[in-house]
Amino acid sequence: MSKPDLTLSEKAMLVLKAADDPSQIDAVCDRYNIERDEFDRWCQAFLSGGTERLVTMDKEGSTSRVESHVEATLDYLPSSHFLLRILARLIAVLNQRDSYTKQHSDDVAYYSIEIGKHLGLDSDTMQTLYIAGTLHDVGKIGISDHILNKNDELTSEEMELMKEHPRLAVELIGTEEGLQDVSKAVYHHHENYDGSGYPEGLAGEEIPLLARILAIADAFSAMTTDRPYRPAMRVVDAARELVNKAGTQFDPKLVPIFVERVLKIPLSKLQERS
């Protein structure tokens, strides 16, 4: 028999079925004529973010750093099937709407847990952070296609609509038991340290710690990714931008942790103009 040609969401549904009842995995594989190895790869892809993203430095960076995203994030997967199901469902829906957001979400989850490791966060908090990173832009599901997929910079009116995505995210995940802390981090990920952000204009440590971490990971991922309307910035330039905005947009205590310990770029290096 030939291999089934399943869509992404069909694969996601099978993974969810297996997550609900692992004893059914072999039966699912038989019914859909899927090799068990291949099915395990789908599970890993859905539950870890899927792509082997390599984080590398350009020549301006102090070190070259290569790490497998999949391995780095597996430790922080939700342990309960309930959370797993919600997470996989939302990721699958988001990926269908907008492949940039899916890749960006993987990156944000990855950078966030790297920061969390250096802060010594406990494993429950790390799990919350990983899920929040993965879901931080899930509210974009509620943003219309012409804004979400626009190949140009957004007008101010469109930007106002886009700013609804943290609220929409809370509508999607906020009432689910066990996800309140995830919701809180996601809701506040566009707050600025000086109070100029949205949706609530919180400042300093009023902003939940996990949201302050997400903000740095989010900005770094966005700056270092090619978009239709602008090319990606170099890693070292994006790091310099974070440092320049420490204390205004970003938490000034977290920026050095990300730049020096995660990216391994000495702050002194950023003072030299390139």
Binding to Fe ion (CB under 5 A): which residues in 253-272? none
Contact between 98 and 149 (Cβ < 8 Å): yes
Closer residue to Fe ion (CB): 137 or 191: 137
Position 114: which residue type?
Answer: E
**Shortest separation between residue 238's beta carbon and Fe ion, angstroms:** 14
CB of 219 to Fe ion, least distance (A): 8
Q: What is the DSSP letter of 49?
A: -
Enter the DSSP assignment of 226: -
Residue among 114 and 137 whose Cβ is closer to Fe ion: 137
Closest by CA to 182, choosing from 259, 112, 250, is: 112
| Minimum distance of Fe ion from residue 137's CB (angstroms) | 4
Is the distance from CB of 118 to CB of 261 less than 8 angstroms? yes
Residues in the chain: 274
The reply on whether position 98 binds Fe ion by CB under 5 A is no
Measured distance CA(20)–CA(1) in Å, rounded? 27
Residue 5 token pair: 């040609």
List the interface residues with Fe ion, window 20-49 (CB under 5 A): none
* Comparison of 191 and 218: residue with beta carbon closer to Fe ion: 218
In single-letter form, the type of residue at position 10 comes to E
Name which of 85 and 190 has its Cβ closer to Fe ion. 190
Q: Are 125 and 133 in contact (CB under 8 A)?
A: no
Residues 126-145 that bind Fe ion (CB under 5 A): 137
Smallest gap from residue 190 Cβ to Fe ion (A) = 6
Piece of 25-33, 121-129, 213-221, 247-255 that binds Fe ion (CB under 5 A): 213-221
CA atoms within 13 A on the CB side of 11: 22
3-state secondary structure 11-74: HHHHHHHHHHCHHHHHHHHHHHCCCHHHHHHHHHHHHHCCCCCCCCCCCCCCCCCCCCHHHHHH
CB of 43 to Fe ion, least distance (A): 25
Binding string, residues 56-95; x marks residues near Fe ion by CB under 5 A: ----------------------------------------
Tell me how far, at minimum, the Cβ of 189 lies from Fe ion, in Å.
6
Instruction: Tell me the window of 11-19, 117-125, 150-158, 215-223 that interacts with Fe ion (CB under 5 A).
Output: 215-223
Report how far residue 93's alpha carbon sits from residue 141's, in angstroms, rounded to the nearest whole number: 8
Q: Does 218 bind Fe ion (CB under 5 A)?
A: yes
Question: Residue numbers of the site for Fe ion (CB under 5 A)?
Answer: 137, 218
